[in-house]
Amino acid sequence: MPPTLHRLVLMVLVLAVALTGCASGSSPAAGPRPTATSEATDVTPSPSSVPLAVIPGPLARCGPQPRDVATAPFAYGALKDPDVGTIPTVTIGRGRTVAVLLHQTDGYGLCGWLPFSRDLARAGGITALAIDLCRYGRSRCTKVDNGTFTAKDQVDAVALAVRHARETLHARRVVVVGASMGGSVALISGSRLPEVDAVVDLSGPVEWVGMGAVADGRALRVPVLAAAAPEEGKPDVDTTRSIVGNAPAGSRFVEVDQGHGYELLNNIDGSSSGINEIVREWIQGPQPGPGTT
């Protein structure tokens, strides 16, 4: 089931349970905060009745999307390299800051990023570049085909996208943004790829295979914005805080009340929610002040 439609069904079920008078459990307490900036942010649920439409062409594989998302001017393409393979992409926006978006563990790959990609394009000055990671979506990766692929090799696809951002999209700033599994890959990218300026980790599982030296944050070369909710479990939340505390100066941790991955950015109707604006501002980076260039 496509991610948007899945969330619609889930919300209907949640509302049905609420109407029967079932009580919800309390969230576990969060651990101690590091010296890096932390703050609490609500993720607001949205109505379950959403007008949907299927995007014509290759993105029809993403299934029904909120109509406002389906009408956005997405450009579908693919990056090719003999050592990496074929990596499908969706691009939207015109800006010299490029956000490379890494998806969750979802067979639909880049589809889950469509609402936030539209938001980035609307913000101005940002180009969103969402990709299918290896073994997801419509990717065809060389190491998967020859049987040598490991989880750490997901960074190969990211490196290809970052190179495309610099050489073809002429990016001045490249930020790698990941949700769930993609958040872990974003952290690895921030430790291994010199052309990356910053990373965003939204609910990345810290036990995910391939974390390696990134686990405590000291291997990160660039600042990281990380967000997690108590539902991830206290060990994951505490470790994410620790990663931020050990990452380069300017890193930031945002504590949210609930939600995972994409849910921290957009409601089921595609509208902005949660920390959407915080992440967009982080991607844009420091803005020049009056009289500066």
Looking at residue 50, which CATH number applies to its domain? 3.40.50.1820
Select the more confidently predicted residue: 22 or 75: 75
CA 178, CA 199: separation in Å to the nearest integer? 8
Tokens describing residue 142: 């060389």
Select the more confidently predicted residue: 25 or 238: 238
Mean pLDDT of 154-167: 97
141 pLDDT tier (thresholds 50, 70, 90): very high
pLDDT at 247 over 70: yes
Mean pLDDT of 253-263: 95
In a domain, 290, yes or no: no
Mean pLDDT of 111-140: 97
In a domain, 204, yes or no: yes
| pLDDT at residue 279, as a whole number | 98
CB 36 within 8 A of CB 252: yes
In a domain, 292, yes or no: no
pLDDT at 32 over 70: no
End-to-end CA distance of the chain: 47
Q: For 35, list phi and psi in degrees, rounded to 5.
A: -70, -20
| pLDDT at residue 107, as a whole number | 81
In a domain, 66, yes or no: yes
Q: Residue written as tokens 């974003």?
A: 186
Question: By three-state DSSP, how is residue 96 classified?
Answer: coil
CB 161 within 8 A of CB 186: no
**Residue ranges making up the domain that contains 72:** 3-23+32-284
How many of the other CB atoms lie within 10 Å of CB of 130? 28
Which residues are registered as beta bridge partners of 52? Answer: 66
In a domain, 293, yes or no: no
Q: What percent of the chain has pLDDT over 70?
A: 79
| pLDDT at residue 72, as a whole number | 97
CB 51 within 8 A of CB 69: no
CB 118 within 8 A of CB 126: no
In a domain, 171, yes or no: yes
| Average pLDDT of the chain to the nearest whole number | 83
In a domain, 59, yes or no: yes
CA 89, CA 87: separation in Å to the nearest integer? 6
For β-strands 252-256 and 224-228, DSSP reports them as parallel
27 pLDDT tier (thresholds 50, 70, 90): very low
CA 290, CA 134: separation in Å to the nearest integer? 44
| pLDDT at residue 49, as a whole number | 73
Q: What is the pTM of this model?
A: 0.83
Mean pLDDT of 59-81: 96
Helix axis angle for 181-192 and 154-167, nearest 10°, is 60
Domain count within the chain: 1
In a domain, 112, yes or no: yes
Closest by alpha carbon to 88, among 129, 128, 57?
Answer: 129
